[in-house]
Structure 1
Amino acid sequence: MAPIRPRRSVLYMPGANERALEKARSLPADALILDLEDSVAPDAKVEARGKVVAAVKEGGYGKREVIIRPNALETAWGTADILAAASAAPDAILIPKVHGPGDIISAAKILKSVNAPEKTKLWAMMETPFSILRCGEIAATGADPENRLVCLVMGTNDLLKESRARALHDRFAVVPWLAMTVVAARGYGLDIIDGVYNDFKDESGFRKECEHGRTLGMDGKTLIHPSQVAPCNEIFSPTEEEITWSKKIIAAFNEPENAPKGVITVEGKMVERLHLVQARRTVAIANSVREIEEWF
Structure 2
Amino acid sequence: MTLRPRRSALYMPGANARALDKARTLAADVLILDLEDAVAPDAKEQARAQVLASVHEGGYGSRELVIRTNGLDTEWGHADLAAAALSGADAVLIPKVDSAEGVRLADRVLRAAGAPDSLRLWVMMETPRAMLAAGEIAGASARLECLVMGTSDLTKDLNALPTRDRLPMVTSLGLCLLAARAYGLTALDGVHVDLDDADGLAASCRQGRELGFDGKTLIHPKQLDAANTAFAPTSEEVARARRIIDAHASAVAEGKGITLVDGKLVEALHVETARRVVALGEVVGIS
TM range (shorter): over 0.9
2:172: which partner in 1?
177
**Are 2:258 and 1:253 equivalent residues in the alignment?**
no
For 1:161 and 1:268, the matched residues in 2 are separated by 46
- Residues 1:259 and 1:132: Cα distance change in structure 2 (over 3 Å): farther
- Residues 1:132 and 1:259: Cα distance change in structure 2 (over 3 Å): farther
For 2:115 and 2:254, the matched residues in 1 are separated by 44
- Residues 1:167 and 1:257: Cα distance change in structure 2 (over 3 Å): closer
What are the residue-to-residue correspondences of 1:223-262 with 2, within 5 Å?
A: 223-255=218-250, 257-258=252-253, 261-262=256-257
Contact 2:248 2:267 (8 Å CA) reproduced:
no
**Are 2:79 and 1:84 equivalent residues in the alignment?**
no
1:13: which partner in 2?
12
- Residues 1:104 and 1:266: Cα distance change in structure 2 (over 3 Å): same
1:264: which partner in 2?
259
Partner of residue 160 from structure 1, selected from 155, 158, 165: 155
Give the Å deviation of 1:255.
Answer: 2.6
What secondary structure, in the 3-state scheme, does the structure 2 residue paired with 1:83 have? helix
Q: Aligned partner of 1:70: which letter? A: T
What secondary structure, in the 3-state scheme, does the structure 2 residue paired with 1:88 have? coil
1:219: which partner in 2?
214
Give the Å deviation of 1:74.
Answer: 1.1
For 1:10 and 1:67, the matched residues in 2 are separated by 9
Number of matched pairs: 286
% identical equivalent positions: 52
Q: Aligned partner of 1:56: which letter? A: V
Give the Å deviation of 1:105.
Answer: 1.3
For 2:44 and 2:133, the matched residues in 1 are separated by 30
Give the Å deviation of 1:118.
Answer: 2.5
Contact 1:93 1:122 (8 Å CA) reproduced:
yes
1:194: which partner in 2?
189
For 1:52 and 1:260, the matched residues in 2 are separated by 57
Give the Å deviation of 1:139.
Answer: 1.1
1:110: which partner in 2?
109
Output the TM-score relative to the length of structure 1.
0.93
For 2:56 and 2:130, the matched residues in 1 are separated by 32
Give the Å deviation of 1:88.
Answer: 0.6
Runs of 5+ in structure 2 lacking a partner?
none
Contact 2:13 2:19 (8 Å CA) reproduced:
yes
Give the Å deviation of 1:200.
Answer: 1.2
Q: Which region of structure 1 is more displaced relative to structure 2, 188-197 or 107-116?
A: 107-116
Give the Å deviation of 1:266.
Answer: 2.6
Give the Å deviation of 1:256.
Answer: 7.1
For residues 251-278 of structure 1, what are the alpha-carbon distances to aligned partners after superposition, in whole Å with 9 as ceiling and x for unaligned? 1233374476432223432111111110
For 1:263 and 1:118, the matched residues in 2 are separated by 42
Contact 2:91 2:121 (8 Å CA) reproduced:
yes
Q: Which region of structure 1 is more displaced relative to structure 2, 34-43 or 238-247?
A: 238-247
For 2:259 and 2:246, the matched residues in 1 are separated by 12
What secondary structure, in the 3-state scheme, does the structure 1 residue paired with 2:62 have? coil
For 1:88 and 1:9, the matched residues in 2 are separated by 22
2:21: which partner in 1?
22
Q: Aligned partner of 1:125: which letter? A: M
For 1:18 and 1:132, the matched residues in 2 are separated by 35
For 2:281 and 2:156, the matched residues in 1 are separated by 37
Output the TM-score relative to the length of structure 2.
0.96
Contact 1:154 1:178 (8 Å CA) reproduced:
yes
1:65: which partner in 2?
64
Contact 1:89 1:117 (8 Å CA) reproduced:
no
For residues 135-194 of structure 1, what are the alpha-carbon distances to aligned partners after superposition, in whole Å with 9 as ceiling and x for unaligned? 11111225xx3xx11111000000011111111111111111111111111111111011
Contact 2:67 2:84 (8 Å CA) reproduced:
yes
For 1:260 and 1:39, the matched residues in 2 are separated by 58
What secondary structure, in the 3-state scheme, does the structure 1 residue paired with 2:246 have? helix
**Are 2:278 and 1:278 equivalent residues in the alignment?**
no
Contact 1:252 1:258 (8 Å CA) reproduced:
no
Contact 1:89 1:116 (8 Å CA) reproduced:
no
What secondary structure, in the 3-state scheme, does the structure 1 residue paired with 2:157 have? helix
